[in-house]
Structures are given as structure tokens and as C-alpha cells.
Amino acid sequence: EAPAETETEAPATSHEHTRTGMSKASLKQAYIDNLFYIQGRFREVATPHDLYMAAAFTVRDRMLERWVKSAQVYKSSRARTVCYLSAEYLLGPHLANNLVNLGIAEVAQRAGEELDLDFKAILEEEEEPGLGNGGLGRLAACYMDSLATVQIPAIGYGIRYEFGIFDQIIEDGWQVERSDTWLRNGNPWEIPRPKISFPVMYGGHTEHYRDQAERPRVRWIPDMVISGVAYDTPVLGYGVGNVNLLRLWKAEATESFDFQTFNVGDYYGAVHAKIEAETISKVLYPNDDPEAGKELRLKQQYFFVSCSIQDMIRLHLNTVGPLETFHEKFVAQLNDTHPAIAVAELMRLLMDDHAVTWDDAWATTRATFCYTNHTLLPEALETWSVALFERLLPRHLEIIYEINRRFLDEVRVRYLGDEERVARMSLIDEAGGRRIRMAHLAVVGSRAVNGVAALHSELIKTTLLKDFYEMAPERFHNVTNGVTPRRFIVVSNPRLAELITEVCGHDRWIRDLDSLRELEAHADDPKLQARWREVKTAAKRDLAVWLKRHAGVLLDPQTMMFDIQAKRLHEYKRQHLNVLHIIRVYQRLKQNPNLGMVPRAFIFGGKAAPGYYMAKLMIKLINAVAEVINNDPQVNGYIRVAFMPDFNVKNGQRLYPAADLSEQISLAGKEASGTGNMKFSMNGALTVGTLDGANIEIREEVGAENFFLFGMTAEEVRRKQDEGYRPWDYYHGDQELKSDIDLIASGLFSHGDTNLFRPLTEHLIHQDPFMVLADYRAYLECQDRISTVYDRPAEWDRMSILNVARMGKFSSDRSIREYAERIWSIEPQPLGA
């Protein structure tokens, strides 16, 4: 083990030392070595990318030693292991995070300075792996960080998409998508494992036969076989020696398949097979896409699930032994229904490949899986047509039918004569074209089900999965989401981290976020408040510089409140409610230019699914309103609007530290949890929010007096919907609301074009499915209160300090501990740093 020595000027001597030493001298030596031996460059001709790669390899070397050791310990102790199955991992840049988790961020920076390197520029050079859409994918990444930090043996399984979430550029106010080519310059963080590869089959038919022992067996004769190859990325915990594994699968043509075609002289056919195979891990599907449900997506899901389960079985047979104990070695968490086919796949592998009986296979399967639900939105609930399944996964369809037959028998026995209930609970939706309900498969095949915030978990029990809850209430849980304070405070807001450490007198808070409570005692200290404000203003200045460059908007960090809404564009998240408020302020200012209001910068960021027309129109609207306001000298001293292009993890890290106000304004009952809400609040933003998702718990923690609440409750929303919601009445009943909507319709923001935004305004007036109009008045009143408080800095700063001080609950370390104790029954395996 390399000593975590304190800085020494002694030159790095031995080979081992340069590879693993943590001193400034070793880091410098290692950096130069890597630049030379891996990049083949000397300083004078190195490109910025070469400089980054050398840094990445220098850091990676220091993780590998810990990685190998973790693997050895986990193997010899036969540690119980969590497998997190997720179609998405929104990882964000690795370099800065790994420096922090290794505990060498400062010494590396000094080493860099002595080598005359621009440390910031090197960090900026990294292209982030955007292998996720939004909250669900980022949650998986936070959980990987926390699993390692709380020292739980874990493997994250997923897909190594060649193209992640598209890059967003804004042209003429519209979103334009560009393909994300994150692998273009190579990925220094992954290690390809060509020897770890599994066949994945599609199509064909099944054959039922009797084996030598006369047992009934099934053989699947596919018409396509591809292979999945492992690409491994080490995930190091903060301040510990534990390194877990993120194993992402890349699809390739199987060699034998390839050659077979080649041998009969069909060269082009062989090449075609190769292309078809590789298509499977080519591109991440943007969610919220109304046209989702594509065949390729089901192929992707099955692809990574099959590789992962085969890998788990291989690991188990290599280390522990008999398959009867598989569920003692592994617990597998299904991140939403995307990997739910795993239930049928484990059954298939156990029965068809390993001759396990149905009853034993089922007992093992149900003891292995747990399922996390992330949404109640009906359009986001996955179903697949039976016809598609029959074509692509015929054996799995048989298994699902059998699971369903046995399950529905249980339901019938339990609820005599209640055939309606049977139909509701069936894995097959028989209404209008038969479809497989993946959520039902996930529930029936799991031993635990959880939602991602208290309200959401309640709603699961009372609405989406009510029948299942009634049948087995003990299997339903809540685990409120969390985010990692390493990335979202230490890496993205170093000034704040430093100030907190100074005030608390320790940096233990980084892995014990509850200890931020120690800040409470200082919340009224004017000296701390002044420094708190300085830190915020400095972050706002950084963001302003960036937005000037990349959005062409000039914001004043000194005088303006930074009011930020950053998240995927979606009607339920109600970015248009925010816009209506901006238009109201604009109109007020036009009527009375001497209003003397608190200056505000309204900042947005977020991508819209390429096929989601209304969300794209909302982006256009924001930019159109920005154009008018930012160019109107009557108002632009008071308000400005900016749309940050290409909101991703890297750009998010610029936003969270700079926010005074965090917009969390979804219609109550629709946002399962939200995690951006936590990131903002951890960085000292105050929240304006509805009683939705984790907002409720954030408010509980920070105190109602430190949270700006508005709007209907989920219960009120439900009642209003039952009564028959009529947005038209709100439109006509509120002069200001009407005039704000009419202003959009008038063409003021569209160079006189009265058609452009009509789909949006008409939809609001006539349908308004997310009740923007019903919450409009309450939102405006709340925003006025916010301006009043912002005008009293001591009060605002106090609230801001208390928000940070009370965010301990929202560390993903807490979430992971809850999963470990209540759902996974798994113990930490501590390894020293």
C-alpha cells in the first residue's frame, strides 16, 4: 500500500512510487511520464487534450491499486454485493471528482502549478459521459458514489452508449440537437475487458423437450446472436479505499456468427450483421419522447440485462458456488422498469441453462430483485406489445405468461370472484391490443418496491400499485432520494466548501452531511453572513461570465437576484408558469418604469425530448421573451432572461452554486422526487416550490419559515380534477393572467407572428393538464414575498445558511444506508484509504 504521505520534496524514485505515490513530487513525475509514454508527447507540442489525458491517467493509476485490492477483499470475504441495474448513468466529468475522492485535489493543483499547467483548463477539457437523460440517470451516478463511500460492495450495470444524450444548441431561439460524440477522443477512465463477454440472443422460436433425466426442458433457438463486451470504470469512494465497479456493455457482432456468414461467401451479409449488432448500444433514447416504444429500445434493455445476469451467474459460480445461494450473494436493484425483463431472464437462465426447477428458480428470482419506481405519469409507464415480445423474446413471453398464470391464480384465491381486480393486476393489459405491463412484472418479480420520496411512495400505494399494496403491504417502502455532496458541493462549489470547513473546524461534513447542523449556531453572525454572500456573489460572477460567452446575455451578479430553473423541459415541471411570472413583472415595469423592484436574472436550463413539440415550443418562448426583455432599455436594468444552452452535469455544476432562488414548481403529485431541488438548496439557494416530491421533505427539514411555499396540494389537485377543472374560468377570472397570456398570443414575442405560440396559449386556456392557471395567482403572490425578503440581506442570508445547515438528510449516503439496511440487508465492507 502506498503511504498516503504528506507532501515531500523528495524526488519520486521507484517505479511503484511514480505510479501510485500521492506526494506532489510523485504526481509531477507521474504526470510527465504519462504525457510521454501514453500520449507520446512532450510539453511543447502537447494539445490541451493531451494535457488532460495525462492528468486522467495519473489519477486513474492511483485508483487502480485500490480497485484491485477491493476486488480481492470482496472476493475472499464472499461479500454480499448489490447490483444496480440501470439503463442510464449520467456520470458527469470524472477527473475533478476522483481528485476529491482520492483526497489529492489540493496537492494535485499545486503540482500542476509547478508544472506551469492551467489546472482549470485541463478540467474543462473533459467531455462528460452523458449516458442518461435526467434525474433517474443522475441518481444512479450519485448512488454509485455513495455506495463506494459507505463501503458497500456494488456493481453498477448498464449500457456503454456510443452516443449519449444529445448536445443542445440554441439557434434562433429553438433547440437544435447535435449528436454527442463523447468517445471521439477516447475515454481514459474505462478499461475494456474483451474476455468478459456474453452472447445475447434475439428472435427465433422455442423447443420443448425432455432431458436425459426425463425432465421437461426448453431450448430457445434464436435467429440472431450478438455479444456484449464489458467496459469497466472504477468508482472510488470518498476518503476510503473502497473502489466499486461500473460495468457497461458494448454490443458487438459475435465472431462465430460473423465467420459463418463469411464462409458461405456472403461478405456484405457479414458486415451487415456486424452493423446491426453494434446498433444496439449505439444511442441513448431521450425519454419523454411521445414516439418511444421502439423495438430497438427493448433490444437495448434486454441486451444489458442479459449480459449483466449472465455475468452475475458467472461470478457466483466462480466464487461462492451453488445457484441455490445466488440471492444470498446478490441483490439486484431495478432502476425503474427499464431492466424489468431481468425477472424473466434470470428465470430463463436458471431453468433452461442450469436445469433449476420452476419453483426453485422463482424463489431465487423473487429473493434477488427489488424495484424502484420513479414516476406516476401514465405516459411514462412502460408497456410492450405482446406481438413485439413474441417476435424478439419468444422464450421470455412464455415465462411471463407462466408467471402471470400462477400469480393470477393467487389473486383469484385471495379475492374470490373479483375478476375486475384480476384484470387490473394482470401482467398483460388486455384492453386495446395486448401489452405487457413492465411495472407489474417488476413488482411481481421483486421482494421490495420503493418510491423515491415520501409523497410519491404514498401515491404508489394509493393509486398506481394500490391492488399490489393491498395484497402485500409489507413489500412497499420509501427511500427518499439524495445527491452526493462530493460532486455537488465540494467539486462544484469549492469556495462554499472551504467556508463551511472553516466555520465547522473540520471537513467531516463531506461524508457526514448531518454535521452541517453545526452551521446553525452561526446563522445570525453578520461576519459569516457577509462572507456567505461573498461566496455566492463570486459564484454568480463566474456564471455571468460563462453566460455572457455562451448565451450572449449580460447579467449583473452584484445587484441581481439569480432565479434559476434548470431541469428537463416538461409541461408538468411548468417552466411556462415561470415565464408567466416574468411577463407579469415585465408588464408591471412597462406600466411603471420607476417601480423600484429588486433586479432579477431569470435563468433557465434544460433539454426537451426531440419529439416533444410542446417542450420545444417552451424553449422557444423563453428565448423569445428573453430577446424582447433583454433589448428593452426601459426594463433591462431590472430584469434579464437567459437560457443556458446544453444543460448537463458539467453545466449544472456552474448553476447550482450561483442560484439565489431555486424554482421547484411542478404540479403537486407529478414530480416523483426531484433531485435538482436538493442540489440548489445544498448550495444555499432558497426554494420557491409546491408541495411536491421531495420539496415537502426539504421544507420539513429546513423549516417552513425558510422555504417559499405556494400552490395546491396533491389532494387539492385531485379534487379539482374530479370536479372538472376549467382553465377557461381562471383565464377570464383574472385580468392580469389574461393579459399575460394575451401578450404571448399578440405576437409581441414573435415579431408579430400570432400563430407561433398559439398551440401553447390555446392549450393553456382550454386544457391546461398541469393546472398552470390554477396556481398562477398563488405563485405571483409568493414571488412578491420573495422579492421583499431578498431586499433584507441579513434575513435572506440567515435563511440561506439554515438551508445548507439542514440539508444533511439529502445526502445520497443517507439514501444508500437506508437501502442497505431496510431493503438489501447488506453490511459495509470497510477498506482503508
Can you tell me the distance from the alpha carbon of 83 to that of 245, in angstroms, rounded to the nearest whole number?
10
User: What residues between 293 and 322 interact with ligand AZC by CB under 6 A?
Assistant: none
Contact 745, 761 (CB under 8 A): yes
Residue of 287, 368, 493, 687 interacting with ligand AZC (CB under 6 A): 287
Take residue 508 and report the three cell numbers written for it. 467531516
Q: Min. distance of Cβ 338 from ligand AZC in angstroms? A: 7
How far apart, in Å, are the Cα atoms of 628 and each of 169, 544, 621, 636?
20, 19, 11, 9
Q: Mark whether 576 is an active-site residue.
A: no
Query: Which of 316, 320, 19 lies closest to 155, judged by CA?
Result: 316
Cell reading at 95: 477527473
Site string for ligand AZC, 474-493 (x = CB under 6 A): -------x------------
Q: How far is the CB of 373 from ligand AZC (least distance, A)?
A: 9
Residues 404-463 that bind ligand AZC (CB under 6 A): 452
Q: How far is the CB of 573 from ligand AZC (least distance, A)?
A: 9
Which one-letter amino acid corresponds to residue 466?
Answer: K
Q: Which CB atom, from 364 or from 675, has the smaller least distance to ligand AZC? A: 675
| In the complex, least distance from residue 377 CB atom to ligand AZC, rounded to whole angstroms | 8
The secondary structure element, H or E, covering residue 250 is strand 243-253
Find the shortest distance in angstroms from Cβ 225 to ligand AZC. Answer: 29
Q: Which is nearer to ligand AZC, 23 or 664 (CB)?
A: 664
Residue 471 Cβ vs ligand AZC, minimum distance, rounded to whole Å? 25
From the CB of 814, what's the least distance to ligand AZC, in Å? 15
Q: Compare residues 446 and 761 and give the one whose CB is closer to ligand AZC.
A: 446
Beta strands 191-202; 174-178: pairing state: unpaired
Q: Helix or strand or coil: residue 577?
A: helix
Which residue in 138, 567, 576, 809 is the catalytic one? Answer: 567
Q: What residue type is assigned to position 742 of the chain?
A: D
Nearer to ligand AZC, 28 or 374 (CB): 374
Q: 675 an active-site residue?
A: yes
- Separation CA 65–CA 19 (nearest Å): 9
Q: Are strands 154-159 and 81-85 parallel, antiparallel or unpaired?
A: parallel
- Decide if residue 335 touches ligand AZC (CB under 6 A): no
Q: How far apart are CA 41 and CA 54, in angstroms?
A: 10
Closest alpha carbon to 656 in 786, 795, 807: 807
Measured CA to CA, the distance from residue 171 to residue 393 in angstroms comes to 42
The C-alpha cell that represents 832 in the structure block = 482503508
Beta bridge partners of residue 369, listed in sequence order:
332
Per residue, what are the HEC states of 452-486? CCHHHHHHHHHHHCHHHHHHCHHHEEECCCCECHH
DSSP 693-719: TTHHHHHHHH-GGGSEE-S--HHHHHH
Q: Which is nearer to ligand AZC, 375 or 653 (CB)?
A: 375
**679 has catalytic annotation:** yes
Asked whether position 585 contacts ligand AZC by CB under 6 A, the answer is: no
The CA distance from 11 to 6, in Å, is 14
568 catalytic? Reply is yes
Q: CA–CA separation, 104 vs 90, rounded Å?
A: 24
Q: Is 339 in the site for ligand AZC (CB under 6 A)?
A: no
Catalytic residue (one of 138, 348, 374, 574): 374
Question: In a 3-state reduction of DSSP, which class is residue 794?
Answer: helix
CA distance 379 to 384: 13
Residue (of 427, 202, 236) closest to 305 by Cα position? 202
Number of residues that bind ligand AZC (CB under 6 A): 18
Considering beta carbons, is residue 26 or 677 the nearer one to ligand AZC? 677
**493, 542 contact by CB (below 8 A):** no
299 is a catalytic site residue: no
CB of 197 vs ligand AZC, minimal distance in Å: 28
Alpha-carbon gap, residue 282 to 274, rounded angstroms = 12
CB closer to ligand AZC out of 23 and 484: 484
- What part of residues 368-407 is at the interface with ligand AZC (CB under 6 A)? 374-375, 380
Cβ atoms 159, 247 nearer than 8 A: no
Catalytic residue from among 573, 616, 620, 806: 573
Contact 103, 354 (CB under 8 A): no
Q: For the window 120-139, what string marks contact with ligand AZC as x by the rule CB under 6 A?
A: -------------xxxx--x
758-787 residues near ligand AZC, rule: CB under 6 A: none
Site string for ligand AZC, 168-187 (x = CB under 6 A): --------------------
Of the pair 297, 758, the CB lying nearest ligand AZC is at 297
- 568, 600, 616, 809: the active-site residue: 568
Q: Does 164 bind ligand AZC (CB under 6 A)?
A: no
CB of 375 to ligand AZC, least distance (A): 5
Which residues contact residue 405 at a Cβ distance below 8 angstroms, ignoring those fewer than 6 apart?
Answer: none
Shortest Cβ 714–ligand AZC spacing (Å)? 14
- Taking the least distance from each CB to ligand AZC, the nearer of 81 and 375 is 375
Q: How far is CA 671 from CA 299, 334, 606, in A?
A: 28, 20, 16
Active site residue 573: yes
Cell of 268: 456484405
Q: Which is nearer to ligand AZC, 567 or 620 (CB)?
A: 567
Nearest approach, Cβ of 133 to ligand AZC (angstroms)?
Answer: 5
Q: Is 642 helix (H, G, I), strand (E, B) or coil?
A: strand
Q: Under a CB-based contact definition with an 8 Å cutoff, are residues 705 and 727 in contact?
A: no
Which H or E element spans position 51? helix 48-76
Residue with Cβ nearer ligand AZC (39 or 481): 481
Tell me the residue nearest to ligand AZC as measured from the CB.
Answer: 135
Q: Give min distance, CB of 719 to ligand AZC, in A.
A: 23
Point out the catalytic residue in the list 261, 484, 675, 690.
Answer: 675
As a whole number of angstroms, the distance between CA 561 and CA 638 comes to 10
CB closer to ligand AZC, 198 vs 770: 770
Task: Report the SS3 class of residue 371.
Answer: strand
- Determine contact, residues 477/370, Cβ cutoff 8 Å: no
Return the number of the residue (139 or 826) whose C-beta is nearest ligand AZC: 139
CA distance 421 to 412: 9
Q: How far is the CB of 583 from ligand AZC (least distance, A)?
A: 27
Residues 6+ apart with CB under 8 A from 762: none
Radius of gyration of the chain (CA): 28
Q: Which of residues 640-679 bind ligand AZC (CB under 6 A)?
A: 671-675
The site for ligand AZC (CB under 6 A) is made up of 133-136, 139, 287, 336, 374-375, 380, 452, 481, 671-675, 693
Active site residues: 374, 567-568, 573, 675, 679
